[in-house]
A and B are shown apart, each in its own frame.
Chain A
């Protein structure tokens, strides 16, 4: 149980284009989803937290107009990187939490490798 998928696993796009990454909880309802960015050989940096049906909360320094997050249902969240540039190339990981009270658990997707050329 508690499986989270991401699609695509890898994507290459040209500078200036937009790319959408999907994150799905396959066997549970995720009241909260998180988006992380991981630079090579670095830790995970939380970008934003999204709750189903409400606007995402972005961490300081993350451009909300560039990284659009939509959490349209209890099983799906999307991250759209708009007008991508080479510096946006990174490994993006989502996680989903069932939100059970008092249990700070989250389940991670396999990640999406974005390369902007």
Chain B
């Protein structure tokens, strides 16, 4: 069955420090992978996506993610975190079940300390 695992429920980093959020997926076909960010009480904003090609993808707000097929991973990174990055982050995979749908991970809450 298709699934997305985000092993870290929450992470705390200091402002200016680097960040890596982990994501592993399970899907038998070519994965279409996404990272979204959600601020409290808001909808989701797409940070970046991977469809094919270069396995290192750049997104908005200085985020990047690397697709590693051998590890079934799509980890999100940022070299220097800003206080405004505090939010909930969701990794997701789009699957084709005769139409497409998106399966989300449980999310990782990022806290940024001064």
Contacts and interface: CB of A to CB of B under 8 A. Distances in A.
Interface of A: 4, 6, 32, 34, 41-44, 46, 49, 51, 57, 91, 93, 95, 97, 103-111, 113
A34 B42 contact: no
Interface in B75-114: 90, 94, 96, 99-107, 109
A34 B43 contact: no
B11 interface: no
Contacts of A4: 43
Contacts of B43: 4, 6, 93, 108-111
B53 interface: no
Contact of A51 (B44, B51, B99, B105): B99
Given A4-B43, A41-B109, 10 more contacts: A44-B44, A44-B104, A49-B101, A93-B44, A95-B44, A104-B51, A104-B100, A104-B102, A109-B43, A111-B43
- 7 nearest CB pairs, A to B: A104-B94, A108-B43, A108-B44, A110-B43, A104-B32, A104-B100, A43-B104
Contacts of A110: 42-43
B41 interface: yes
Contacts of A41: 109
Given A104-B32, A111-B42, A43 B51 contact: no
A106 B41 CA distance: 19
Nearest to B102: A106
Contacts of A46: 101-103
B94 A32 contact: no
A30 B90 CA distance: 23
B45 to A, nearest CB: 8
A43 B107 contact: yes
